[in-house]
Chain A
Amino acid sequence: MRYILLVLVLLTFLLTSCAPQTHQPLVYGLTLAPSGIDPHVNASSELGIPLSSVYDTLVYQDPATGEFVPGLAQRWDVSEDGLVYTFYLRDDVTFHDDTPFDAEAVRFNLERITDPALASQKAAFMLGPYARTEVVGEYEVQIHLSEPFAPLLDALSQVYLGMASPTAVEEWGDEYQLHQVGSGPFVFAEYVPGDYLLLRRNPDYAWGPSIYQHDTAQVEEIRFEFFTDPATRSPALETGEAHIMGEIPPQDAVRLTEDEGFYVEAAAIPGVSLMMFMNTTRAPLDDPLVRQALLYGTNRAAIVSTAFRGTSPVAYGPLAAVTRGYDPAVEAYYPYDATTAAALLEQAGWVDADNDGVRERDGEPLTLEMYLMGWGYMPEVGQLLASQWAEIGIAVQSEVVSYPEALEIGAEGRHHLIPFNLSGSDPDILRKFFHSQASFNWAHIDDAEMDGWLEEAARTSDETRRDALYRQVQLRVMDQALVLPIRDYVNLNGVSGSVSDLRFDAQGWFPILIDVTLEE
């Protein structure tokens, strides 16, 4: 009897140890537990979800129009030669630690990012041909470039180039990422790596950009927690442990949509769509007819409805449809047509003479090697492709590899096919994939004309000219059948019915947290 009592007492203790708190924070589920979350140093997209509201940026990009609007800089001008950007800063901004924001702070931040000792994994590269920053007046600062760089404003509008308090950076050194200080609508209150990150409303915020609807945040606290296992994300939402959850698996998203208490906010992510890169230097894919046959022989709509439950749009070209500079002309290319695919293969000399279901040429079977990374539904997509291509007499050998290994295979050209996708709002992202010197040139294309277009488009600030150049690149990529686009990336955010006004910025990844409201 005594033992039963003891057990009861213990149970009561267990159940009450988490008594309801005075006010409920908004709980936002993230999908990775990045222990490195300094936006100047680290590269993950996850870090920007909380930190886009901790840091302010010089400019912002309006997600509706794609225009750049004032942020910490009230206005700016660009020199005739495109080498000098002058920013006229607000004079009423203070960081969360009361350090005033001024031109010197901008110089401090950009010098920190480009200091090789910081070993920046993303921010420094976003600055492109950055040369130096010059403080012109207390609130006037110039960024000098060594050559013109059109994506600069796009870069400066992102959290990776957000403005940190110089006082805090100097005080904390190596441990700064645990004690970050910005000037945004939320204060970085507490961070326990791998466990949670707490943001608290900044009551003094009064310098938000026009894309923010409110002057100050509508919720007192936001607690970010990490849900690395996709299968647990939807349950955490349904038990009320989280109010917003990113990257819900498609089948769970479909179920949540049917549930009255929840909705799904599908955020389209600009950048390079999920696509298979076809190695143009390795037989038989060195033959454009075979590459085109793969495109005609793929039923992308079926893949999207099976692997993604119809939650993402079919991709037609190298850029996702929501990316600036996207050319809808790609949509006319390579509709699903198995008969044309078969005819192209025969034209290229691939025939199934021995009737074993796989075509041959000169005794060699038509077998393709595919390397897949274990995330982003790549294995599922690979499997569906293999089964579709089996019908037109192509055999596929696939292997799941790690990201570093895929990079090595891709660079050495040991593959026939590798899928990839990457997010980014500026079409300059194409340069990372289709320039002959690019790190993701997994099509192994060496096209001097296309190199020229990509380089010119990165330099010119004339938007019409840029669009025309990127149009040429997109059409060339499809004409040459360098890639097999599969789907545009969509971040499926599961949201509790008690949350409203959740919108995302121009990158698609980062929520505009200042406007989010939570019903108690």
Chain B
Amino acid sequence: MMAKYIGRRLLQSLFVLWLVATLAFGALQLTPGDPAQALLAASGATSEEIARQRAELGLDDPLLRQYARFLGELVQGDLGRSWLHGRPVSRMIAEQLAPTAELAGVATAVGIAVGIGLGVLAAIRRRTWVDAAATAVAVVGISVPTYWSGLLAILVFALHLRWFPATGSGSLRHLVLPALVLGFALSGSIARIVRTRSVEVLDAQFILAARARGLPAHRVLFVHVLRAALGPAITVSALQLGFLLGGAVITESVFARSGLGQLAVEAILWQDVPVVRGVVLFSAVAFMLVNLLADLLQAWVDPRIREAL
């Protein structure tokens, strides 16, 4: 049953991947400007030299042939070579993957922990000032852009209190501020869904009955509410991976960290098409895999879903 489900999901993913690849190819065709000129203009290259470079990059070929070549290489797992650096795109992505994964992973953990904490707190103290405060914090998390909260965190925790370094990567201490900033931004949407789900559980007939029979409050909280809240929290954080990758771009830039975000920004600025395409495709694959994983995790947490598969 499970294997069939996974197989179907993977097949769907393959279709989505082709769609993403085609969109990425098309969108980059539509961006104005000539990459060959962007590479060489400042060096004083003549128009013939720029034309030669354009031919070299295969930009003179008919669109369909370029598309076929791109797909053909993609099927073989080849993302091409960077026009700017001449190195294989897959290797460049591999180099930048670890710092981004590290940031995204820790930020997700922070986001889930803070989000569940806020959401459950708001639910059990419903319609009190605690609820209002927790909801307010969640709204702030959702609405404040990370480039602002990041700079604020640097100002307070690095410049004034000097607890953590402002910038850079490498050690755990470097990870604290960016992970907190990104995790906090993530926690807002998690807190909201967790609060809703917890309220449902707390209001449920079986909980009322259990409490009437004298089930202690902490058992209600830890066994019933938390378990019910965990599922939606996982789904939301998986769905937020897109946000997380986007947020990582900004967070990486604010905290001067290396990673996929920095790679993408440079590639976009220079119209280094293979690298942009590579990062987009890679993000799509990561997004799909994580969501598949989240669904399986949820099935594991929630027996009803497991049986429905």
Binding site for B on A (CB under 8 A): 13-15, 17-18, 32-36, 41-43, 116, 119, 121-122, 125-126, 174-175, 177, 192-196, 225-229, 231-232, 235-236, 238-239, 241, 401-408, 411, 422, 431-432, 437-440
Contact = CB atoms under 8 A, between A and B. Distances in A.
Contacts of A126: 43
A420 to B, nearest CB: 9
A119 B259 contact: no
B95 interface: yes
Secondary structure type dominating chain B contacts = helix
Contacts, number: 171
A14 B165 contact: no
Contacts of A235: 154-155, 158-159, 166-167
B165 A404 contact: no
A34 B267 CA distance: 10
Given A119-B53, A235-B154, A235-B159, A36 B43 contact: no
Given A404-B33, A408-B37, A232 B256 contact: yes
A227 B33 contact: no
B211 interface: no
Contact of A14 (B92, B162, B173, B255): B173
Contacts of A439: 37, 40-41, 44-47, 50
Interface residues of B, number: 62
Nearest to B84: A36
Interface of B: 31-35, 37-47, 49-50, 52-53, 56, 82, 84-88, 92, 95-96, 99, 147, 151, 154-155, 158-159, 162, 165-174, 176, 253-256, 258-259, 262-263, 265-266, 269-271
Contacts of A432: 42, 44
A440 B41 CA distance: 7
A239 B159 contact: yes
Nearest to B254: A229
Nearest to B39: A121
Given A43-B42, A239-B166, A408-B32, A227 B256 contact: yes
24 contacts: A14-B172, A17-B173, A18-B174, A35-B84, A35-B266, A36-B84, A43-B43, A122-B42, A126-B43, A174-B88, A177-B87, A192-B258, A194-B263, A196-B170, A225-B167, A225-B256, A228-B262, A229-B256, A238-B159, A239-B162, A241-B168, A402-B33, A432-B44, A439-B40
A240 to B, nearest CB: 9
B30 to A, nearest CB: 12
Contact of A407 (B34, B176, B262): B34
Contact of B259 (A125, A194, A406, A411): A194
With most chain B CB atoms within 10 A of its CB, the pick from A13, A116, A125, A438 is A125
A34 B159 CA distance: 27
A33 B99 CA distance: 14
A241 B45 contact: no
B148 to A, nearest CB: 10
Given A121-B39, A232-B256, A195 B166 contact: no
Contacts of A18: 165, 171-174
A431 B56 CA distance: 26
Contacts of B88: 174
